[in-house]
Structure formats: C-alpha cells, structure tokens
Homo-oligomer: A and B are copies of this chain.
Amino acid sequence: MQPPMQPRMSVQPPDAPHHEPDFEALRERAFNLRWATVAPDVIPLTAADPDLPVAREVTEAIADYIARPHLSYGPACGLPPFREAVARHFAREKSAPGVDAARVIATNSAASAITLVARHLLTAGDEVVVQDPVDFLVAESARRAGAVIRRWEPTPGGSGGGPGAAGGSRRRFTAAGLRALLASPEGARVRLVSVCHPHNPLGSLWSAAEVAEIAEVVAAHGAALLSDEVWSDVLLDGAGFASFAGQVRPRLAPWVVYGLSKGYGLAGLRIGAVVAPDADAAAGFAQAQGFEHTIEGVSTLSQVAATAALGHAGAWRSEFLAHCTRQRDLAIDRLAALPGVRIDDAPEATFVLFCNIEGTGLSEDVLAERIERIARVKVVPGSPRWFGPGAAGHLRLSLATTHTVLEEALDRIVRAWPAIIAPGADTATMAP
C-alpha cells in the first residue's frame, strides 16, 4: 500500500496556485446536471456549484482531523466549533450581532434545512407566501407540509437595473408588494412568509433598509419568516449583507437557513445550518425534528471542513467573489448583444445569471435544448417547475467556472446563436 500523502503531493503541490480546476476530477464527481452527467463535448453552466477547487484550508482541516482516526458520534445539534463559527460569521459579516451558537443547528445541507423548517412551522392547510420566481425548494417543502402557496411577484422597476445591467428594467421584490399581497384576500390567512436572500435566480440583493422594512411587514401581519440565505456569501461588487437573523423586533420570529455549497464550494459535503429566532426555538426545533434522536444530523467531517472554511478561507472567498464579479460582467457583455436576449436582472449577488429570452419567440425548454444540441453548452431553462410560473421565458446560467471555460461557452453560444434561433433549428446540428 502506498504512503497516503503521495497522491496528494503530486496533484496538489504546495507551490501550485490551487485555483485551476481538475476537470478530470469534475468529470467523475460533479453530478446534478454538471460535468459527470453531460456529453464529453458539452460545457455545463447548470447547477449552482463552482468548478473551482475548494480552499486549501478546507482540505487541510479534513486531513488534520483524520490524522487522529476517530469518527465517533458528534453532538446532536452540531459540533460546538461549527455552531460558533456560523454564529460568528453571521454576527461579523451579516449584520446579525445577536446570533450566538445556541441559535445555530447544523443541518445536512441548506436544502434539508428548508424542508425541516417548513415542516416545523407549517401544518396542512396553512398558507405560505413564496416568491415567484424563486428556487423551487421552498415551494416544494411547503407542498410536502401540505401548505397552500400564495405567490409574491416582483415589482417592475424603471431605473434600468443595478451594476452591469444592460437593457431591460430590474424587477424587485419590495416591502410594498408584500404588504399589498398580505392585505389582499389572498394573503389574509398567511402563516409564513418565505424569502430567498440574496435572490436565486434574479441575483438581487436587499439593502439593510429593505430587510428591515420587509421584516416589519411580516411582523405586522403576525406571520413567521423563513429566509433562505444560502447565497449570502456570494456578494458581487464588494456589497455587504444584512441577514434577517439580525432582525430582532417584537412579533417577528425569523428562521434563517444557511449553507456552504455556494460561497465555499462544499455542495458535496451537505453542510448547512438553521439559525433559529432564539436559543429556545432552536432547542425546540432540534427536539421536534429528530436531531436529539440522531434522526437528523450532519457528518462531523463536513462540519470540520465548514468550520475551517468560515474561520480561515476569507482570502479564498475574496478572490472567488472578485472572480464571480468579473464573470458576471463578461457574461452580460456577451449575452446582452444577442438578438432576442435581454438582461433585466444583472446580479448584485449569486453567480447565476437569469436571462430574458422572450424576444426569441421560443420557449425556455426549446431554447435550452437547442443550446445544448447546437452550441454544446448546457443551461437551466426557467421552467416553472424549477423556479415558479414567473420564470417562464428565461434561462439561468451558472458562471462559477474559469474565465477560459466561460469564455469558450459564451463563444459557442454567440457563434451558434443564428442557428439556434432559426426556424428550422429543431433538426440542425453544428459541423463537428
């Protein structure tokens, strides 16, 4: 048997930049519509999972942990250092100084956390506000809890969008829009308001003032609040972030879901957290949802990796965010020039880009199929089943790959565009 450090040295020498992806590894490992699932000549800009290697501090922490080869039961609600690291991260970086470790419960991914919180807060027949469009998980979780969904639509904007916007006008979910919905007959019996903050797929980011205003609207209605903040580490243009976990006010119980899949590339480790409104609520959640009975819980090794990311990978994340900002600008620059494409929602956060393709006269499903077949790039159609009815007429592209790969993907799309939108394109393919 080989000494265990040899393969690590050869693949990841200490002087390597640790930035270049190992595409061979991605072809083996990156599932969920990505490299391991597409044809060899197709570039996936699909699931929101970076192609970039994780921070060296993460793999070092894992190696250090297994150097003492004990993988015993962890504590039900998470390792104390993990819970403390999440609390510190929210307190210092997310304008939520009141978050302490007792409010944090480690969960087996943010997706799992959303479902558990929805199950915890809802009973069959309850009404829930869900943004439209938005990532499908909250609606899916509400449906599993037997709840009735009330859709909150964004307000059309007129300012021409935020940084990097090109054409179109940014839509925005506003406190006024929420207030109007809750005041309508549709909203009267709403028990829970859910938000995705920052917003996937629109890439919009609420300011601290907007967060406070929305919290006030929810509190005034007497509803609970579920804020999906899995994207809150991916802020572009150096933006800051105000978590709903920092909204301490009468009659408001904010439940925040967090995860490390987007900001630190740890999707495979399934590590996330619930930040409960207070310590008692956290304990009650853990008891009711089976954490105390080992029914729920998270791999300790995933928690060790996440703790290292939060504590020591700040430099990695700074570089990553600067890279994501440049990728956004590159993608908008190339795509906004295409006939039939409009960028209404230039991302202020996230590394996904939601493109309006209504001008092509083609549905999102047809267009996505043609882009894959003709340009050999896979994107996510804005199908109602993934993002709600309001997503129709859009495509979502994940941009968290290298500059070279994104440029190649965009080149392919731009070159193939006339063929893609041509009337006869359903049978066309590119010359090899």
Residues of A whose CB lies within 8 Å of any CB of B are 1, 3-5, 7-12, 14, 18, 21-22, 24-26, 29-32, 34-36, 47, 49, 53-54, 56, 58-60, 62-64, 66-76, 108-109, 111-112, 114-115, 136-137, 140-141, 144, 261, 265-271, 290, 293-302, 305
Contact = CB atoms under 8 A, between A and B. Distances in A.
A66 B62 contact: yes
A389 to B, nearest CB: 18
A301 B62 contact: yes
Given A109-B297, A136-B293, A299-B299, 6 more contacts: A5-B63, A12-B68, A73-B261, A108-B296, A108-B297, A299-B302
A284 B53 CA distance: 34
A14 B2 CA distance: 10
Given A54-B70, A70-B29, A109-B294, A9 B5 contact: yes
A284 to B, nearest CB: 15
A300 B267 CA distance: 9
Contacts of A70: 21-22, 25-26, 29-30, 53-54, 265, 268
Nearest to A5: B5
Contacts of A7: 63-64, 67
Nearest to A293: B140
A73 B31 contact: yes
Contacts of A5: 4-5, 8-9, 63
Contacts of A109: 294, 297
Contact of A72 (B11, B63, B268, B299): B268
Contact of A267 (B14, B22, B71): B71
B14 A300 contact: no
A22 B25 CA distance: 33
Contacts of A29: 70-72, 74, 300
B73 A18 contact: no
A62 B64 CA distance: 11
A59 B53 contact: no
Contacts of A73: 30-32, 34, 47, 49, 261, 267-268
Contact of A8 (B25, B63, B111): B63
A212 B129 CA distance: 52
Given A293-B137, A295-B140, A268 B4 contact: no
A140 to B, nearest CB: 6
Nearest to A8: B67
A8 B59 contact: no
Contacts of A22: 68-70
Contacts of A75: 31-32, 36
A105 to B, nearest CB: 15
A266 to B, nearest CB: 5
B300 A301 contact: no
Given A108-B108, A115-B290, A54 B67 contact: no
Nearest to A55: B69
A295 B4 contact: no
B300 A269 contact: yes
A58 B71 CA distance: 10
A60 B7 CA distance: 10
Given A4-B63, A109-B294, A268 B30 contact: no
B69 A53 contact: yes
A67 B8 CA distance: 4
A306 to B, nearest CB: 11
Contacts of A115: 290, 295
B296 A112 contact: yes
B59 A72 contact: no
A290 to B, nearest CB: 6
Q: Give the 5 A-B residue pairs with the shortest CB-CB distance, closest first.
A: A8-B67, A5-B5, A30-B72, A32-B73, A268-B300
